[in-house]
Amino acid sequence: MEGALFEPTLYIVKGMCILDNDGNRILAKYYDKNVLPTAKEQKAFEKNLFNKTHRANAEIIMLEGLTCVYKSNVDLFFYVMGSSHENELILQSVLNALYESVSILLRRNVERRVLFDNLDSVMLAFDEICDGGVILDSDPTSIVSRAALRTEDVPLGEQTVAQVLQSAKEQLKWSLLK
């Protein structure tokens, strides 16, 4: 296979996952049913991946025929996996989009507890970044704009003027309709 040309494909990402600082899965999506088809194999792979990367200072690892790029922050580890012949820079841009989107959604407080509180938005961000292994978007601001769920949960002091006005219009409209 050395030097062989591969057919171009849009199915670049094999999986994305977020693990805690003990190597336990918080959120994971695998897009290729031929690679790690069962949950048991996925968990074993994640455990092995975490054991190889949690003390390392690198950003990339080849493991079980997959190219894995990763980033850690406080008590979370972010991973993006692709095939062994995939361009690492593309995988890294997906990882950066994932990390930055989560960071914006969590208001720069990227920790396990806060992630669990906002897991629904993070799951939507996963879906906005990649669908079935095809990269849809790598711009964190556009990902967050589509993944942000509720403005009602944002404290009044952190809302923009437009959000406050929109919220006031909605409340007035509903009070007049009653």
Instruction: pLDDT band for 168, please (50, 70, 90 cuts).
Output: confident
- Angle of helix 140-147 versus helix 88-105 axis, rounded to 10: 50
Q: What average pLDDT does the segment 116-134 reach?
A: 90
Give the pLDDT of residue 164.
72
pLDDT at 140: 92
**Three-class secondary structure of residue 63 per DSSP:** strand
Which of residues 168 and 118 earns the better pLDDT score? 118
Percent of the chain residues past pLDDT 70, beyond the cut: 88
Identify the pLDDT of residue 57: 80
State residue 149's pLDDT score. Answer: 63
* Helix or strand (DSSP H, E) at 52: helix 39-53
Task: Indicate the length of the chain as a whole number.
Answer: 178
- pLDDT value at 2 more than 60: no
Cβ count within 10 A of residue 106: 17
